Amino acid sequence: MKKYINAVIKIIICILVSLNLTSCWSAHELNKLAIVIGMGIDKGKEDGYPVEMTVQLANVSGIKSSSKGKDAGSNNTGYLNLKEKGKSISDTAKAFNRKLNRNLFFSHNQVVIFGKDFAEESIENYMDFFLRYRETRLLTWILVSKQPASEILNVKPELEATPGRNIGELIKNQQQVSQIPAVNLKDFSSKLMSKTTAPTAPIVEISNDNNRKIAYLSETAVFKKGKMVGSLNEKETRGLLWCTNKMKDGIVSIDASNKNINDKVNIITTHATGKIIPQVKEGVLSIQIKIKQEGDLQEQLSSEDLSNPKAFSILEKREEDTIKKEIMLALKKSRRLNADILGFGDAIYQHYPGHWTKIEKNWEETFQNIPVSINVDAKLRRTGRITKPIMSKD
């Protein structure tokens, strides 16, 4: 009897082991995939086809050929751009199968670029694909282009193999230098679904540099209810970054003296925090913005000796005033566009959900009239490797 039981147990074990040795039924062979590294979406030019999509595909054969040297030819590149039209994002993606013998693979996509004309009409209805489709990554960067998105993806980079990767690295760099907000699909979509907070995205455009076309990040696009309604310039963008706790390594340029406007001091931010704190006292709502910043003296364009406590105190006060001005510029533009880019509504809902229900219906009117106080605490910590300026007083 024991022999039969042992035999049954061995058979069951073999069956269980064999089930774990099955191959991947959903596997994709690499030679059957077209790896997407960049997407551009523009407004369709034909009636009935509102979407015109450009996909940038990794051209492995082009990379191999170009690495062999000049004899390989100048036409070989590491990417291939294809364009199609359709009624929706998924419909357009399927249309590529008519000219491509491989399936589009989106898991390595770096950027999604919306043309300005397309963004101004509305992108809300077209974001569903990127969130629902399993292959799209939530860390994909979102941008808006002043020129057609297809043109941005045609600008050949100098240091990277493909334009898509080049723009993706530009965005990553912005996370450190803090000049333009770095916005991925997750952040953009969460704000798009918010009842109040207006999404933002970096604007990329083409510039000529010594007769060479380059793609660079210029401004910040502002959306409201899925439509692009305006943009923020450099100072307004910095104000947004201060408030949303996204300032990491920015430069604050201030006047070194009141005598000469060309006497400047540049302070590099080493640490910064930004908080938006709503307050309700006796039924009256107000917003307090608190900024704490620490920085080091990076560059001095004057001959004054700033290596003393009194000079430090003066510089810190001027730095606080400069940061306040940038925040006020962002707030004024936000109210002018009637778009809550700073996230006041969400902050009120989180801290005072009961009060939020009272003002929710009239939020746009309330947003325009909320009293806002700005408190900036700036500290200058170090002067760098030297203390006294090189420039002579003469």
Alpha-helical regions (H) of 38-88:
60-66
Mean pLDDT, the chain, integer: 88
243 with 304, same domain? yes
The three-point CA angle 373-321-393 to 5° equals 170
Share of the chain above pLDDT 90, in %: 63
pLDDT digits 0-9 by tens, 222-236:
999 999 999 999 999
Residue 3 lies in a domain: no
369 with 321, same domain? yes
| 72 vs 254: which has the higher pLDDT | 254
Q: Where a domain ends, among 232, 267, 283?
A: 232
Residue 52 lies in a domain: yes
DSSP letter, residue 97: G
What's the average model confidence in pLDDT over 238-254?
92
Residue 20 lies in a domain: no
252 with 241, same domain? yes
310 with 169, same domain? no
pLDDT digits 0-9 by tens, 95-127:
998 888 888 999 999 999 999 999 999 999 899
185 with 298, same domain? no
> Which residues are CB-contacts of 237 (< 8 A; sequence separation ≥ 6)?
179, 180, 181, 219, 220, 330
Nearest-angstrom CA–CA distance, 142 and 126: 13
CA distances from 111 to 151, 182, 220, 391 (A): 14, 11, 16, 45
221 with 298, same domain? no
User: Domain of 69?
Assistant: 29-232
142 with 242, same domain? no
- The CATH number linked to 345 is 3.30.300.210
Q: Where a domain ends, among 172, 206, 232?
A: 232
pLDDT digits 0-9 by tens, 362-390:
999 999 999 999 999 999 998 888 887 77
272 with 340, same domain? yes
For the stretch 266-291, what's the b/e string if a residue is b when 16 or more beta carbons lie within 10 angstroms of its beta carbon? Answer: ebebeebebebebeeeeeebebebeb
254 with 359, same domain? yes
Confidence of residue 63 (pLDDT cuts 50, 70, 90): very low
| Other Cβ atoms within 10 Å of 151 Cβ, number | 19
Residue 44 lies in a domain: yes
pLDDT at res. 74: 38
Which residue, 289, 278, 347, is CA-closest to 323?
A: 289
pLDDT at res. 71: 40
pLDDT digits 0-9 by tens, 169-221:
999 888 778 889 999 999 999 999 998 999 999 999 999 888 889 999 999 99
Residue 56 lies in a domain: yes
Residue 76 lies in a domain: yes
361 with 218, same domain? no
> Which residues are CB-contacts of 23 (< 8 A; sequence separation ≥ 6)?
none
pLDDT digits 0-9 by tens, 286-300:
999 999 999 999 888
CA distances from 8 to 19, 20, 87 (A): 17, 19, 59
197 with 246, same domain? no
Residue 204 lies in a domain: yes
245 with 354, same domain? yes
Confidence of residue 70 (pLDDT cuts 50, 70, 90): very low
Using an 8 Å Cβ cutoff, are 34 and 104 in contact?
A: yes
Which residue, 288, 202, 293, is CA-closest to 254?
A: 293
Looking at the structure of the chain, the number of domains it has is 2
Residue 23 lies in a domain: no
pLDDT at res. 76: 56
